[in-house]
Structure 1
Amino acid sequence: MSLDVLTPVSELTAALGDAVVTEPDLMLAYRRDQSLLTAAGMPLALVRARDTDDVVAALKIAHRHGVPVVTRGAGTGLAGAANALDGCIVLSMEKMNAVLDIDPAARTATVQPGVINGDLAAAAAEHGLWYVPDPGSRAISSIGGNLATNAGGTCCAKYGVTGDHVTRIKAVLADGRIIHTGAATRKNVAGLNLTQLLVGSEGTLAVIVEATMRLRVAPTAAATVVASFPETAQAIEAVLAIRQVAEPCLAELMDRTTIAAVNDMTHMGLDESAGALLLIQCDGRDSTAEARICAQACADAGATEVYDTDDPVEGEAFMQARRVALTALERRGSTLLDDLSVPVHRLPEMLQAIEGIAARYDLTIGTFGHAADGNLHPTIVFDASDSEQSARALQSFDEMVVECLSLGGSISGEHGIGVLKEPYMEAMVGATERELMARVKEAFDPTGILNPGRGL
Structure 2
Amino acid sequence: MDGMDTADPTAPLDQLRASLPADVVETRPDSMEAFRRDWSRDAGAGMPLAVVRPRDAGEVQATVRWAAEHRVPVVPRGAGSGLSGGASAVGGGLVLSLDRMRAIDVDVATQVAYVEPGALNAEVKAAAAEQGLWYAPDPASYAISSIGGNVATNAGGLCCVKYGVTADYVLGMDVVLADGRLVTLGGPRIKDVAGLSLVQLFVGSEGMLGVITRVVLRLQPPPPTPATLVATFPTTRSAADAVVAIRSATRPSMLELMDAASVNAVEDHRAMGLDRSAGALLIGRSDAPGAARADEVALMEKACAEAGAVEVFVTEDADEGEMFAEARRAAFPAIETRGSVMLEDVGVPVPLLPDLLTAIADVAERHDLEIPTVAHAGDGNTHPIVVFDAADPASVERAHAAFAEVMAAAIALGGTITGEHGVGRAKKAALPDQLGEDVMDLNRRVKAALDPANILNPGAVL
Smaller-chain TM-score bracket: over 0.9
**Counterpart code for 1:302:** G
Q: Which moved more, 1:288-297 or 1:424-433?
A: 288-297
State the partner residue of 1:363. Answer: 369
* Aligned residue runs from structure 1 range 261-280, under 5 A: 261-280=265-284
Alignment correspondent of 1:311? 317
Match of 2:29 among 21, 24, 28: 24
Q: CA deviation at 1:64?
A: 0.4
Partner AA of 1:445 in structure 2:
D
Question: Displacement of 1:183 after TM fit?
Answer: 2.9
Q: How do 1:225-244 residues align onto structure 2 when only pairs under 5 Å count?
A: 225-244=229-248
Amino acid at match of 1:55: V
- 8 A Cα contact 1:37 1:336, kept in partner: no
Matched to 1:117, the amino acid is: N
Select the residue among 414, 422, 429 that pairs with 1:416.
422
1:57 matches 2:65: no
Q: C-alpha distance in 1, partners of 2:461/2:185?
A: 21
The alpha carbon displacement at 1:377 in A equals 0.3
Match for residue 256 of structure 2 among 252, 259, 281: 252
Kindly report which structure 2 residues correspond to 1:180-219, keeping only aligned pairs within 5 A, or say none. 180-219=184-223
Which among 139, 164, 175 is matched to residue 171 of structure 1? 175
Q: 2:114 aligns with which of 110, 114, 123?
A: 110
Structure 1 residue 36: deviation in Å? 3.0
Provide the C-alpha distance between the structure 1 equivalents of 2:324 and 2:123, rounded to a whole number of angstroms.
23
| Matched position secondary structure for 2:386 | strand
CA distance in structure 1 between the partners assigned to 2:113 and 2:12 by the alignment: 36
Determine helix, strand or coil for the equivalent of 1:87.
coil
- Counterpart-to-counterpart distance in 2, 1:46 and 1:371: 38
Gaps (5+ residues) in structure 1? none
State whether residues 135 and 152 of structure 1, in contact with CA within 8 Å, keep that contact through their aligned partners in structure 2.
yes
Structure 2 length as normaliser, TM-score? 0.96
Alignment of 1:53-452 (within 5 A): 53-99=58-104, 101-285=105-289, 286-452=292-458
CA distance in 1, matches of 2:53, 2:360: 41
Contact 2:9 2:72 in 1 (8 A): no
CA contact (8 A) 2:115 2:214 kept: yes
1:18 match: secondary structure? coil
SS in 2 for 1:365: coil
Give 1:387 deviation, angstroms. Answer: 2.4
| Maintained 8 Å contact 1:263/1:270 | yes
Aligned letter for 1:175? Answer: D
User: Could you tell me how far 1:37 is from its partner in structure 2?
Assistant: 4.5
Question: What is the TM-score normalised by the length of structure 1?
Answer: 0.97
Contact 2:240 2:354 in 1 (8 A): yes
Q: CA deviation at 1:38?
A: 4.8
Counterpart contact for 1:111–1:210, Cα < 8 Å: yes
Whose relative contact order is higher, 1 or 2, with alpha carbons under 8 Å and at least 6 apart?
2
Distance 1:344 1:136 in 2: 20
Of the three residues 46, 69, 81, the one matched with 2:51 is 46
Residue 375 of structure 1: CA displacement?
Answer: 0.3
Query: Aligned equivalents of 2:135 and 2:201: distance in 1?
Result: 22
Q: How many residues align?
A: 453
Structure 2 segments unaligned to the other structure (5+ residues): 1-7
Identity %: 51
User: Are the equivalent residues in 1 in contact too, given 2:9–2:93 (CA < 8 A)?
Assistant: no
SS at match of 2:158: coil
SS at match of 1:70: strand
Q: Which amino acid aligns with 1:297?
A: A
Residue 73 of structure 1 and its aligned partner are, at CA, apart by 0.4
